[in-house]
Each structure stands twice: as structure tokens, then as C-alpha cells.
Amino acid sequence: MSQGGNTFGSDPSSFPEGGPPKRGMSTGVKVLLILGGVFGVLALACCGFGIWIYNKMVITDPQKVVAIEQEIVSIQVPDRLKPVFGMDISFGPMPIKMAVRVGSETEVLTLMGMAGEAANPVTQQQMQAEMKKQGKQPGLRIDSNETRNVTIGGEEVAFVFSKGVHEGSGKPMRQVRGVFEGRDGTVMLQYMALEEEWDDAEVMTMLRSISK
């Protein structure tokens, strides 16, 4: 018989496999898994259903991409970073908006805004912790990390600056990532560039320009 709401009773040996039930995954982990699923759907664009989903989700009009970016957060970016594509997924428990700018094949700025369950300080901390745990990003082998704080909307935000190697060319590469509160929820920012393209002062100016 259940005791105090515990289906398995008070005897530890009565739990499946002799142990307590596993804890549910944090919202931060779930958000990252959802994002992985989004990119997985895009990777299916070679299939008929994938193409239909791709056409429904992906926006390539530069003006519309900029409009999505402005809905996520206000940020001043270098002129060479051109709006390439965006996404506006309004269905589901965690609506997602994304704006991507590209300067070269290896210089990419991604802004992603999430509303709903993801839009709270605890989840932002969970997502930041999960991002720090990631030892590898697509196209980049990370060798070292450094954390710098930037004030956004009166709050200190920790950005992770990484150094590594571009897996395609073997050239030194840099990356910065951060999670913070945007105009309508949580924002994830990621900027990647080869070492030869990276301008540290310019990157810091861009981050400091962020406002809601």
C-alpha cells in the first residue's frame, strides 16, 4: 500500500532495481535538448517532410530576420555581420525565436530567445551551467574557457569566452556564449570566429551594447 504518497513504500528495496526514483531533468537541460531537436529537424531538410517543416520554420528575408532579432534583444553588431536566417516557433510550451548573422563561413552570431518555462532566473543559471559543461561545439574543439562579467539591464551576466581549434581547417578559433534576460524571456547568445577574425575589443563593445 502507498505510504505518504510514495508508490513504492518506505522500504528502499521496494524501489525499482533497489534504488530511489531518478530525479527529473532540469529545465535548463530540457531547453538544450529542445534546441538540439530544432537543429535536428533542420538537418532533415533533405527529406520531403523535413523540407515542409524547414519552409514553415526558417525565415531568410534579411529584414524579417532583423525584426526577429529586435524582438529578442537590442544589440549593436558590426556591419559585416549580415542577417542570414531566423526562426519564429510560436507553438509548444517554450516559444523560440532565433536570428543568425554571418560575416564569413566561420564567423557566426546566433541570438535565440525563449519564453515560457525557460524565462526565469533559475533556468538561466541551469542553462549557463549546462553550456559550461559542454566540451565541444559543432566545428570547434574547445581547449580553454574564461568567464567575463558584462552588465546588461543593471544585472551582471557571465559570458564564457572559449579558445580552441576549428575542426575543419585546424586554425585557432574563438567563441563567446552567454545566457541572460531579454525582452520576452531568456536569451542565449553565441558568437564564433577564427582567431584571425576575432577582435576582442569589438566583441566586448557588442556585448556591452545589449539592452532590452
In a domain, 9, yes or no: no
- Alpha helix (H) ranges present in 18-61? 27-43, 48-57
pLDDT of residue 186: 86
Most confident range (mean pLDDT) of 3-17, 69-83, 111-125 is: 69-83
How far apart are alpha carbons 82 and 77 in whole angstroms?
A: 9
Determine which of 7-11, 107-111, 169-173 has the lowest per-residue pLDDT on average.
Answer: 7-11
Strands laid side by side in the 58-59 sheet: 58-59, 82-89, 96-104, 107-114, 186-194, 172-181, 155-166, 140-152, 136-137
Cβ atoms of 199 and 84 within 8 Å: the answer is no
In a domain, 3, yes or no: no
In this predicted model, what pLDDT tens digit does every residue of 135-157 receive, in sequence order? 445 567 888 999 999 999 888 99
pLDDT of residue 71: 93
Q: Would the pLDDT of 12 be above 60?
A: no
Cβ atoms of 158 and 178 within 8 Å: the answer is yes
How far apart are alpha carbons 168 and 173 in whole angstroms?
A: 11
Domain CATH for 79:
3.40.1000
pTM across the whole model: 0.70
Number of domains composing the chain: 1
Cβ atoms of 128 and 178 within 8 Å: the answer is yes
In a domain, 35, yes or no: no
pLDDT of residue 132: 53
How far apart are alpha carbons 183 and 36 in whole angstroms?
A: 23
In a domain, 146, yes or no: yes
Q: Where on the phi/psi map is residue 12: left (φ > 0), alpha (ψ -120 to 50), or beta? A: alpha
Contacting residues for 181 by C-beta, under 8 A, at least 6 apart: 119, 121, 124, 152, 153, 155, 187, 212
Domain of residue 125: give its range: 59-208
In a domain, 145, yes or no: yes
In a domain, 20, yes or no: no
Work out the burial of residue 136: count CB atoms within 10 Å of its CB; fewer than 13 is exposed, 13-18 middle, 19 or more buried: exposed
In a domain, 4, yes or no: no
In a domain, 137, yes or no: yes
The residues facing 141 across adjacent strands are 136, 165
